[in-house]
Amino acid sequence: MYFGTLVNMKNIQLLGLILVVAGSFLPLVHVPIIGNWNYWKLDHYLAIACWIFAACAVFGIVNSNAKVVRFFGVLLILLFAFTLVAVKMQSLEYFSFLPFKSWREAFAGVVKLKWGWAVEFLGAFLMVFAIGSKKVNKRTQI
C-alpha cells in the first residue's frame, strides 16, 4: 500500500508538471488586433525560467524528493504572479503617452487575461499540494 500511494503522489505531481508546461503554450493574454499571446510571446526570459523550473521539478519527481518538487512549484507560482503583475504594468506603460490617467487605465483595460493562467496555476498548485500518505499497512501478509 505504501508504494502505491507514493506512485500516486508522483503521478499527481507529474500531472501538475504537464499542466504547467502545456499551459505555457496556451493563450495567456489577449491583445486586441494582435491576438492571443502565450508565455513565449509575452517574454522569452520568463518562458525560459518557467521551463527551467519545470525541468528542476522533473528532477525532484524522478528522485522522489517531494521537497524539491514543492520548492519549484512555489517558485513557479511566484513566477506566474510576477508575470501577471508585469503584464498589467506593461499594459499601462504602453499607453503612457496619453495625457490623462483615466484614459491610460481604460486603454490598458483592453488587454485581457485568458484561460491559460488557470491551467498554469492549477498545475503549480498540484505540484505543491500533492501529498502522499505516510501510513504503512501494519498487517502481515503470508
For residue 121, name the pLDDT band (cuts at 50, 70, 90).
very high
Most confident of the following: 60-64, 88-92, 106-110: 60-64
Model pTM score = 0.80
For residue 2, name the pLDDT band (cuts at 50, 70, 90).
very low
Q: What is the DSSP string of 15-35?
A: HHHHHHHHHTTS--EEETTTE
44-53, 55-64, 92-101, 131-140: which has the minimum mean pLDDT?
131-140
- Is 22 in contact with 120 (CB distance < 8 Å)? no
Q: Where are the domains of the chain?
A: 1-130
39-48, 65-74, 124-133: which has the minimum mean pLDDT?
124-133
C-alpha cell at 99: 495625457
